[in-house]
Each structure stands twice: as structure tokens, then as C-alpha cells.
Amino acid sequence: MSPTRLPTQPQHRFETVLAPELARVSDARRSASAVLRLWDVGKPLADDVQLVVSELVANAMEHGSGWVALRFAETAGNLTVEVTDANHVPARMRCSKPDDPRGRGLVIVAALAQKWGVSENGRTTWARFILEGTAMAAAD
């Protein structure tokens, strides 16, 4: 099942669309920061989510095509981040050599998120975080 088909209605949801320019990664990071502050997500988790947003948006800008959608949804104690572009080729982890300056984005995503994946159509890459112990989860 793709994360875009959430089993229950999200308690919080945010979406923005970014022009397909690598310089817009900082806009995505700022949007993430504002949303996470508004939703009272604690700093350690918010820092992890912002880094994952940077990596996923940068990947979409660099390897995808067309406008990039960035979505956040909070459902049942989980925060899901989705990044969608028009490219149907799914994101995949690469094996980088120690001296390679690039190619570690999805390794970082996998290390920080509880779960991550790619939609069946290959256009959306997502990462899920558990909100337990955050102010947001305590409000449930």
C-alpha cells in the first residue's frame, strides 16, 4: 500500500509545490521547519525530518522531472513525508565509495526514518517517523 492512501484521515496535513530548481531545496527545508514547529514536533525529531526532506527534495530535483510536491501528513502517531515528481523511475539506494561526494541521500533517509519506500508508480518517495514522545503524540 502506498502512503498516499492513508488508512485514516490525517489529523494534520500540509502540501506545497516547488519549482524544479535545485535552489528550491532550501525553501522545502524552511517549509518543513515551519510545519514541524506549528505541529509541536520536538527538536531532535524535527531535525531528522528536515534532513530527510532535504535529501528527498534534492533527489527529486536532481533525478526527477517536473514540479515537485512536498507533503506532510500526521496520522495515528506517525508523521509521513512524501515527495512526488513526474518521473516514473523509482528512487533507489546506491552503493557509494567512501570518496564519492554524492549518492548517500537514501542511505541517510533509511537511517533516520522508521520506514521509507517508493509508491507503486515510482513517482513518490516517502519516509515515515513515529511521533511517540513528542508534544504532537501527547495531544492524541
Q: Tens digit of pLDDT for each residue in 102-139?
A: 656 888 999 999 999 999 999 999 999 999 754 444 44
CA distance 58 to 39: 24
Tell me the pLDDT tens digit for each residue of 34-74.
999 999 999 999 999 999 999 999 999 988 889 999 999 99
Q: In this predicted structure, what is the pLDDT of residue 76?
A: 85
Q: What is the pTM of this model?
A: 0.82
Distance CA 51, CA 111 (A): 11
